[in-house]
Amino acid sequence: MDVRKKKLPIGIENFEKLRSEDFYYIDKTWLISDLLHNWGEVNLFTRPRRFGKSLNMSMLEHFFSLNGDKSIFDGLEISKEASLCEEYMGKYPVVSISLKGIDARSYETAYQMAVRVIIEAAAKFYFLLDSEKLNDHDKADYKDLLDKNMNEGMLGSSLKLLSGMLEKHYGAKVILLIDEYDVPLAKAHANGYYDQMISLIRSLLGEALKTNNSLKLAVLTGCLRISKESIFTGLNNLKVLTIADERFDEYFGFTDEEVRELLEYYDVADHYDEVKRWYDGYQFGNVEVYCPWDVLNHCDRIRCESNVQPENYWINTSSNDAVKRFIQESANATTKREIERLVAGETIIKEIHQELTYPEIYQTIDNIWSLLFTTGYLTQRGRAEGRQMKLAIPNLEIRDIYVTQIMEFFKENVRKDGDTLNRFCNALQNEDVKNVEKIFTEYLRRTISIRDTAIKKEMKENFYHGVLIGILGVKDQWGISSNREMGEGYADILAEPDTGDMGIIIEVKYAHDGDLDAACKEALKQIAYTRYEDDLEDDGVEHILKYGIACYKKRCKVIFAER
C-alpha cells in the first residue's frame, strides 16, 4: 500500500478534520453555491442514511461560521466564486445541532437527551454572558439555556432565543443547521411516545423556523419528509428537496465519474464493475449515484486484499425494519409476485406518497412502498408521472438485504407448520419421492422465490438450498450439515436422522433451462462422482439414501437413487 495516498474518510463527518488531516475528499462544495443562488430561507434535504448528509452539514457550518478556517476551502469548487465567498464566507453566527443521538425507550430520557443537545449548542457561545450588547434579561435567558432542568417551554423556545442573542451580539442574522431532524420521531414511534415527541419537535422547529426574525438561512436533513401538517404547520418558507427532486441531485452520494476517479487514485480501478453492480443504482433526481459509505468501506478492504468479495456494509448500520415489515406484510399473492419481480431485477409501478407521518408508515402496504422508496431500499427508474413511479431495487447489496429477510421470514414461519414438516422428513426417510416432491413444491409456492436471470446459477441454488435447510431444521434431534466436505467433494446437504444408522445425501440443482429431469440426473451424477457416501460408510452408517432435487422457479422434481 502506498503510504503517500490520502486517508479514506470512513465515518468522518467533520469537514474541518477531513480537510486539515489529509483525507480524500470528493468535492461537494458547489452545494453552497446552489443553495445561495436558488434561495430558500428554510431548506429540508431528505436522503437515505449513509449518503453524506452530516458531512455536508459540517461543510456548511465551516463555510458560514464567523470562526471558520477559510483555508480549508482553498482549491475547492466554491473558491472559484470569489464574490459569493466574499459576501457569505465566515460572515454569520452558526447554530448547528444534530438530533440523531436522541434515541431512548422513554419520553423522559429522550427529553433529557434533547436538553443536552441544546445545552451543548448554547455552551459554544459562553462569551454571551460577558457581551455588552445583551441586557440582564437576555443573560438570564442564556443561563436558562445551560440548565439541565429546563422546562419544555424553554426547550421549545431555545433555538429562537439563542438566535436572537447571537444577532444582538454580532449584528448579523443566524444560520441554523439541524441534522437528522426526524430521528427522535422514529425512535419515539418505535417506543410508544410519538405524540409527546411530535409536540416537542413541532414547538422547537416552529419557533426556530417560523417566527424567528433573527434567521438568515436554515438547512435541515432527515430520511423522511414528515407531513407538513404534523410538524411544519404554517411554515410557508419551507423548501423541501427530496430524492425525487432534480435540484441538488448530485450533492448527496457519489457519481459514477467520482467513483472511477477514487478507484483509480487508490490503484483498484479493476474493481470498478463489482463496485458498480453492488453499490450504484440509486437515482436522485436525474442523477445515478453510489452509496458513499459502501464505496469507501469496500475501497478500504480491496486496497489491503484485492481478491476480497463485495460485502453488505449498509445492513450493519440499521435494523432494516422497513424491509422486514414489508416481507411480513406481503400476505397477498399480488405483493409476493411484485417482490419476486423486484428481486429478479425488474421494475414495478407504484403510487408514492413522500409526505407521511410515522404512525401512517405501516398502516397500509401502499405506505410501506413509499417508505422503502424514501429510505433507499427502492429507487426510481426514469421520470415520475405525477405520483406514479417506476421502482427497482438499486443494486446487489440492497437485493441481498431482501433475500436475507425473505429467508429469515421463511424460517420463522416454517416452524409453525410442524405436522407438514414432519411428513416431509418422514417421506425422506421412507424413500417416498412423491411426497418429498409434493411437500417441497407446496413450500416453494408459499414462499417468495428468487429467480433473477442476471445472477449466477450457484446463487439461485443457494436459495433453494436455504429453503431445504429451513425445513429440515424442524428436526432438532437430526444432524444437519450444509456443504460438508465428503469423499472427493462437498455435499449440498447431509441429514442424519436420530436413528443413528441412516444418512440422507441431498444435492440441489437449479434447472436454468427448465429441464428438471436433466438437472435431477446431474445432481445424482455429482453424488456418484464425488462418492459422498464413502465417509458415511467409514462411520458405519448402513442405510444411505441419495436424492437429486432440481428446482426451477416454483417447480421442483425429486429423484431417489438406489444405493
In tens, the pLDDT along 25-82 reads: 999 999 999 999 998 899 999 999 889 999 999 999 999 999 888 999 999 999 999 9
The DSSP secondary structure of 102-153, one letter per residue, reads ---SSHHHHHHHHHHHHHHHHHTTGGGGG-TTS-HHHHHHHHHTT-TT--HH
3-state secondary structure of 320: coil
Q: Is 2 helix (H, G, I), strand (E, B) or coil?
A: coil
Alpha carbon distances (Å) from 44 to 13, 293, 479: 19, 22, 55
Read out DSSP for 407-450?
HHHHHHHHTT-HHHHHHHHHHHHTT-HHHHHHHHHHHHHHS---
Domains 15-241 and 415-561 share a fold: no
pLDDT of residue 450: 67
The Cα angle at residue 52 between residues 242 and 101, in degrees rounded to 5: 95
pLDDT of residue 329: 75
Residue-level pLDDT at 275? 96
pLDDT-derived band at 459, boundaries 50, 70, 90: low
Whose cell is 426514469? That residue is 382
pLDDT, tens digit, 9 for 90 and up, residues 362-397: 888 888 899 899 989 999 998 888 889 999 999 999
Residue 449 · residue 466 · CB < 8 Å:
no
CATH topology for 15-241?
Rossmann fold (3.40.50)
The predicted pLDDT at position 213 comes to 94
Tell me which DSSP letter residue 9 carries.
-
* Confidence grade of residue 228 (pLDDT, cut at 50, 70, 90): low
Whole-structure pTM value: 0.85
The three cell numbers locating residue 446 = 408459499
CA–CA distance, 191 with 186 (Å, rounded to integer): 9
Set of cell numbers at residue 474: 424442524
- Measured CA angle at 139 (ends 136, 140), to 5 deg: 85
Give the highest mean pLDDT range of 263-277, 297-311, 374-388, 409-423: 263-277
**In the prediction, which pLDDT does 66 show?**
94
Domain ranges of the chain: 15-241, 254-306, 320-401, 415-561
Average pLDDT, the chain: 89
Residues 6+ apart with CB under 8 A from 6: 22, 23, 24, 265
DSSP 257-312: HHHHHHHHHTT-GGGHHHHHHHH--EEETTEEEE-HHHHHHHHHHHHH-TTPPP--
- The order of strands in the sheet holding 238-241 is 94-98, 174-179, 215-222, 42-46, 238-241
What SS3 state is found at 508?
strand
pLDDT greater than 80 at residue 295: yes
First-last CA distance in the chain: 55
| The pLDDT value given to residue 487 | 66
Domain 415-561 of CATH type 3.90.1570: yes
CB 373 within 8 A of CB 352: yes
209: helix, coil or strand? Answer: helix
**Mean per-residue pLDDT, 479-505:** 80
Which of the four pLDDT bands, split at 50, 70 and 90, describes residue 417?
confident
